[in-house]
Copies of this chain bind each other. A is one copy, B any other.
Amino acid sequence: MSTNILTTQQIFSKLQEYLNTNAIQAFRDEFLEHHIYDQSQYYLDFTDEERLELYKFLSPQELSEIFENLDFDEVDISPYLKEISPEYLSTMFDEMSADNAADILTNLTKRERRAIFAQMAPEKVTEIRNLMHYDEETAGSLMTTEFVAVVANQTVKSAMTVIKATAEDAETIYYVYVLDQNKQLLGVISLRSLLISHDDTLISDIVNEHIIKVDVDEPQERVARYFRDYDLLALPVISHDNLMLGIVTVDDIIDVIDDEAQSDYSGLAGVNTDNVNQSPIESAAKRLPWLVALLFLGMGTASLIDHFDGLVSQASVLAIFISLITGTAGNAGTQSLAVSVRRISINDEENKSFFSLIMAEIATGLVTGAVTGLTIFTVVSIWKGNVMLGLAVGVAMFCAITVANLAGSLIPVGMSKLGFDPAVASGPFISTMSDITSVFIYFSIAEIFISFI
C-alpha cells in the first residue's frame, strides 16, 4: 500500500547513507516525509552510530513523535534512552503527551528520571508523575490527560474556539467533554454535533448526559469491551468521586485488544508468541523451560506406569491403550481450558459463581466422556474380541475425560479467583497433568477387570 516507488529497503539504505555522509538536509527531507510509524521502524533499524547522528539531525520535538509511536511491548526502550543526553530527553518529554511520556519513563531508574525531570516544565512533571502511579493494565495507565473540556453554559461558538485553541495538543478533539466548575463530568458532545449546531446554541442544550465512562482502576480488558460494544473513539476516565481525570483513545485500545489476544494465545500453547522472528536458538531457549518442566511432570506419569508394571507384563495388551486414553483426555482438557478461559474473560463483570462454571464443565465432561467412552468400548470390544477389555478402556476413557474437563476448568477459574490471569494456564500443562490422572484411572480400573482380560 506504500505510495513510494522505492522499496522500504532502498529508502532505508538511502537514509543510512545520508546519516553517514552527514547530509542533514537531504536526510530530513527524505525521513520526515514518511509516516511516523515508518520513521519509528527506520529509527529502530539504524545502527548505534547512525542513531547518534540522527539525534543531531532531528529536533527533540521530531523525535518525540517517533517515541510516541513505539510499541513498548515489542521494543525495550531503555538502551535507546540511555544514548540520548538528558537535556535532549527533557525537551523531548516536554513535547510528548503525558501518558506516553509516563509509559516510557517507567523504563528508567529513579535517578535517571530525576535527571530528566529536573530540566522539564514542572507542571508536565507533576502530570507524568501522577500517571505513573496508576496500576498497569488499568484505565488509569492507558489514559491521557490531554482532552478538550468545556462548560455547560458556554455557546457552541465559544466551544469551537476552545477546540481550535487546544487542537494542537489534545489527544483527540472529536469528543468534547462537559465539566462543571468542580471538574465533575456532566456529559459529552461529539465535534460532529457541534459542527451541525448553531453557533449560539448552548452546550447544555446539546450535551449528551448518557455518557459511558470508566473508573480509573477499571481493568483494561473491560475498557476494551466498552470500545468494542459502543463503537467509541475515546472514553472518559473518572476518579471515584466522578472527577474527570483523562481519556482513553481507541488507538491505545487496539493495542490492548491485540496484546490480550496474543497472551491468551501464547498461554494456550505454552509458548510466548510475542516475538516470532527469532533464531532457532532463541526460540528453543524460549520453549525449553516449559518443555523440560512438563517433562518432569511427565516423569510422574512414567513412574506411575512403572508402579503398574506388574499389570502390564501380565497383560501387555493394556499398553496399547495408554496413549489413546491420555491423548483423548488431554484433548478434552485443552478444549475445556480454552472455553473456561474465554468464559471467564467474557462473564467477569457478571461474576458467575465459581461453582456454576465448574459444574457446567463437569456436566460437559460427563456427556463427552460418555459418548467417547461408548465409542471406544464398541471399537475395542470388536477389534480385540474382548468385551471386558473394551469395558475397562471405555470406563477409563469416560472417567479420564470427565476429570480432564474438571481440571481444564478448575485451574483457570481457580487462578482468576486468586487474582491471576487465567490465560497463562497452558494447554500442554493441562494435558500433561491429565496424563497422570488418566493413567492412574486406567490402570486402577484395569486392575479390577484384569482377571477377565
Contact = CB atoms under 8 A, between A and B. Distances in A.
A5 interface: no
Contacts of A231: 37, 69, 251, 254
Most buried by B among A35, A295, A324, A372: A324
A379 interface: yes
A129 interface: no
A108 interface: no
Contacts of A448: none
Interface string A305-328: 110010011001111111110111
Contact of A261 (B191, B261, B269, B330): B261
A376 interface: yes
Range class of the A interface residue count: 35 or more
A75 interface: no
B330 A265 contact: no
B167 A196 contact: yes
A435 B327 CA distance: 8
Given A291-B372, A342-B273, A34 B210 contact: yes
A339 interface: yes
A44 interface: no
A195 B213 contact: no
Interface stretch (A13-21, A48-56, A79-87, A274-282): A274-282
Q: Give the top 7 A-B pairs by smallest Cβ distance, nearest first.
A: A269-B338, A261-B261, A280-B363, A284-B367, A231-B251, A331-B428, A271-B335
Interface of A: 1, 3, 33-35, 37, 69, 160, 163-164, 167-168, 173-174, 191-192, 195-196, 209-215, 218, 226-233, 250-251, 253-255, 257-258, 260-261, 264-266, 268-271, 273, 276-277, 280-281, 283-284, 287-288, 290-292, 294-295, 298-299, 301-303, 305-306, 309, 312-313, 316-324, 326-328, 330-332, 334-335, 337-339, 342-343, 346-347, 360, 363-364, 366-368, 371-372, 375-376, 379, 383, 401, 427-428, 431-432, 435, 439
15 contacts: A3-B211, A35-B212, A69-B231, A160-B195, A167-B195, A173-B195, A280-B360, A290-B335, A292-B372, A298-B328, A299-B379, A319-B319, A330-B330, A330-B428, A427-B427
